[in-house]
Amino acid sequence: MTRPDFEEVLSVLYPDPDGGDRGVASTTEAMDRRTFLRISSVAGGGLLIAVSLPGCKSGQGDDKTAGNKDKNDKNTPTPVESEPLPTEPFEANAFVEIKPDNSATITVAKSEMGQGVRTTLAMIIAEELDLDWSKVVPQTAPTNPKKYGRQTTGGSASVRTGWKPLREAGARARAMLVAAAAQKLQVDAKSLKTDNGHVIHADSGRKLTYGSLTEIAAEQSVPETVVLKDAKEFKLLGKEHIGIDAADIVQGKATYGIDIRMPNMLFASIERTPVFGGKVKSFKADAAFTVAGVKKVVEVPATGPMANVHSGVAVIAETTWAAMQGRAKLDIQWDQGPHAKESSAGYRTAMERFVGGKGKELVNRLGNPDKVLAKAKGVVRARYDVPFIAHSTMEPMNCTAEVKGDRCLIRGPIQTPDLAPGPVGKALGIPPENVEVQISLLGGGFGRRLNLDYVVEAALVAKHVDVPVQVVWTREDDMTHDFYRPMAMHAIEASLDKDGYPEAWRHRMTTPAIRATIDPNAKDHGVSESNGASDMLYRVPNRSCEYTYLPSGVTRGWWRAVHTTHTTFAVESFIDELAEKAGKDPYEYRMHLIDELTVDRPKPNKEFPWDPARLKGVLKLAAEKAGWGKTMPKGRAMGIACGIDHLSYAAVVIELSTASGKPLIHRVVCAADCGPVLNPNGGRAQLEGGLVQGLSAALKEKITIVGGRVQQNNFDSYSILRINEAPTVIETHFANTDAHPTGLGEPSVPPTAPALANAIYRATGKRPRSLPIDLAIL
């Protein structure tokens, strides 16, 4: 894919107000200094804009680096640090502010939700700038697309899009500090080096803190070119670092959206339509006002596909408890709308019909699989299905809003802060530029907070009072009004050649496409929904992928790893079935088949083309580390799977036993290739979290629809993996290839379910083809 699907959709629904296309340009293409400074909010994925320097010359400015006067004078006094420090900070660019005391604030224009983005992106700049990491204070940028560009956080894109522009930002600032030091010391800039927040003149032993150079640095012109460090020179990147937020999170000091407090703030709780697409017909609020502290009761209108705010009634009160108690006393009559008869059982019947025949969309095709399959003597067939699943973030949805006249302040845990002003402004009837958005820490995202329903509804509630209002969702609200990972069904057929390898492969699949939730008029959903299936890297001379859209009133959204959570389950389970049919080892079978993709890939990624060698690399690494092929006792087995997600590669081996009647997972081994790993500590955490979440979805999670409404409403009915069910050992290994870095937040999720299913089959002889896995088959 050229871009993760959600980026493409969001750019269509929430276009740049200036008419541009947010963040779609190449992240690695060459650019001159002036172009870089002028348009890098597009080219760098929304992370860097014009260098802002007090007194800086524009455009063609001359380099004011001093000459080589006194460069070899050993008797020059050392150093100048004792002189009075400048009083003004040096704003090196939109991201770095170096203060006279030599501390540095690095502004990160991405939302922090536990993935460590503030730590890693700050490290990239600090590395090239040679900052003293102990004096670096990263902070989240206020929402300002004109200054920071695209601030949406998702799709494992932060490092990928920020890698080059942030390094260049640091290198340019470092060059300007060196030029300032050369001017102050009257030496040739080439005789200077930087280290740990200092510019050093080795010949004379003099050194200057960055903080002592701020005034002079502010007068330097931006260098035309910069030389980036070689990886061998890295002092921060590639080394272990604890997240900068870790201590505050552990000690309860971190401020999440639900922790926000403002003077005179009120709280609100909303009773939303229980049926998707339903609306308030009428309501009585008299009983709600008998609860002490209840101030107002207002109707919240549905907003349509742009934000998908559910129709409901809000109780505004002095405390969350009063708001919730008042809500419980509401008497609401509902118009159940057009989706009241929809159900998971009905969806399944339709899906079985869809995959049982020719798909509505032909996503891609090579050769003539229909003809080969029609003539084949033996055809292997299998059907796989997965349910809707919820995000169930630790922090339920919440948002604080204050509306004053034609202005609105939004504060909360938001993945798309730069996109929020549009829908909020539209809902309130005010200009988007009058909407200010401030981002807190996010207590989990997984794609849920890419949607803006909870943000828009907070604004709609707040307009009824003249003070800030915090809308707080209960766990039940969160579970029953999510944007769910779509349910899906896959039917795959294949015939094998004389050597046991597939000569034909036909994949038919159906889902209620994510994009249709926010863009009902969109067509041709198959390209994005088939990600992981239509673009698989297994060599098959005759193959096709067909897709049929399943209409549904259930709101769908991006869930960690998105489409590959079900396509990889189907493909990797079926590959195991073919290996067994051919009498071959599943690992060796995969290694033989992984090859250059000869079928046209949907929306081929020219910048990051699929590399079969990298997929083989992680598969081999995982197998070796797991000890694939070793003799296992009866009832104990390994399963293997691999895949590509968000431009990164991963393979998973799971070792388990089933003697207890349920899978006891002894060991999970994951190998990943995201290019260079910038922070191994954070990288491991991302892979481990993905593995656990993948296991939870495979063994536990399921949303069921009956009568157009969700049946599960809390963790008693929507189970997630418990600590005692987690793997005994989790190992992660990095390939560390020489490639442009990509993300680690999602690639370990897709291979986990098929690796588990394959291990269960090898241990029991019973093949799971539906998720969550029905333990009764054991």
CB-CB contact of 740 with 163 (8 Å): yes
Query: What is 586-626 written as a DSSP string?
Result: HHHHHHHHB----SPPSS--SSS---HHHHHHHHHHHHHHH
pLDDT at position 213 over 70: yes
pLDDT of residue 444: 95
Q: Is residue 32 scored above 50 in pLDDT?
A: no
Q: Given this model, what pLDDT does residue 87 score?
A: 57
Using the predicted structure, report yes or no on whether residue 274 has a pLDDT greater than 90: yes
Q: Taking a C-beta distance cutoff of 8 angstroms, is the pair 31, 221 a contact?
A: no
Across 17-26, 267-276, 451-460, least confident range: 17-26
Residues 6+ apart with CB under 8 A from 264: 467, 468
Nearest to 576 by CA among 371, 316, 721, 755: 755
Q: Categorize the per-residue pLDDT at 736 as very low, low, confident or very high, splitting at 50, 70 and 90.
A: confident
Q: Are 462 and 402 in contact (CB under 8 A)?
A: yes
Q: For the residues 254-282, what does the mean pLDDT come to?
A: 97
Examine the pLDDT at 560 and tell me if it is beyond 80: yes
Residue 275 is predicted with a pLDDT of: 98
Q: What's the pLDDT at 441?
A: 95
**Whole-prediction pTM value?**
0.89
Q: CA 327 to CA 291: how far, in whole Å?
A: 10
**Residue 68 to residues 189, 192, 208, 746, Cα–Cα distance (Å):** 8, 11, 17, 51
Q: What is the pLDDT of residue 330?
A: 98
Give 346's contacts (C-beta < 8 A, 6+ positions apart): none
Mean pLDDT of 209-236: 90
Rounded CA gap, 614 and 145, in Å? 36
- pLDDT at residue 11 in the model: 55
Q: Is 88 exposed, middle or buried (0-12, 13-18, 19+ CB in 10 A)?
A: exposed
| pLDDT of 671 over the 50 cut | yes
Among the ranges given (246-250, 390-394, 760-764), the one the predictor scored with the smallest mean pLDDT: 246-250
Q: What is the mean pLDDT of residues 535-549?
A: 96
**What is the full DSSP assignment across 735-772?**
---SS-----SSTTSTTHHHHHHHHHHHHHS----BSS
- The residue count of the chain comes to 778
Q: Is the pLDDT of residue 15 over 70?
A: no
Alpha-carbon span 553 to 277, nearest angstrom: 7
Average pLDDT rounded to a whole number, residues 621-640: 96
Mean pLDDT to the nearest integer, 105-113: 90
Q: In which region does residue 635 sit, left (phi positive, over 0), alpha (psi from -120 to 50) or beta (all else)? A: left
Task: Give yes or no for residue 678 having a pLDDT over 60.
Answer: yes
Residue 307 has pLDDT above 90, yes or no: no
pLDDT-based confidence at 370, cuts 50/70/90?
very high
3-class DSSP assignment, residue 527 = helix
Residue range 591-618, pLDDT digits in tens: 999 997 767 777 667 788 889 999 999 9
Q: Which of 317, 314, 311, 309 is nearest to 330 (CA)?
A: 314
**Stretch 119-129: mean pLDDT:** 94
Share of the chain above pLDDT 90, in %: 75
Q: What is the rounded average pLDDT for all residues in the chain?
A: 88
Burial of 751 (0-12, 13-18, 19+ CB in 10 A): buried
User: Rounded to 5 degrees, what angle do the CA atoms 135, 139, 142 make?
Assistant: 150
Amino acid identity, position 312: G
Q: What is the mean pLDDT of residues 148-158?
A: 87
Distance CA 288, CA 267 (A): 14
Map residue 581 onto helix, strand or coil: helix
Please say if the pLDDT value at position 423 is more than 70.
Answer: yes
Mean pLDDT value across residues 638-652: 97
| pLDDT confidence of residue 218 | 81
Q: In order of start, what are the domains of the chain with their CATH numbers?
A: 29-250 (3.30.365.10), 257-337+397-472 (3.30.365.10), 344-390+483-777 (3.30.365.10)
DSSP assigned state of 344:
H
Q: CB–CB of 427/307 below 8 Å? A: yes
Residue 660's pLDDT band, with cuts at 50, 70 and 90, is confident
pLDDT digits over 465-519, tens only? 999 999 999 999 999 999 999 999 999 999 999 999 999 999 999 999 999 998 9
The predicted structure's pLDDT at residue 554:
98
Question: What element of type H or E holds 34?
Answer: helix 33-43
- The predicted structure's pLDDT at residue 72: 34
Task: State the pLDDT at residue 33.
Answer: 41
The least confident of 75-79, 583-587, 614-618, 761-765 is: 75-79
Contact 698, 771 (CB under 8 A): yes
Residue 662: predicted pLDDT? 83
What pLDDT band is residue 88 in, cutting at 50, 70 and 90?
low
Q: Kindly give, in sequence order, each residue whose CB lies less than 8 Å from that of residue 759, ignoring residues fewer than 6 positions away.
A: 637, 638, 639, 654, 655, 656, 663
- Confidence band of 57 (pLDDT split at 50, 70, 90): very low
Q: Are 194 and 174 in contact (CB under 8 A)?
A: yes
Residue 95 vs residue 97, higher pLDDT? 97
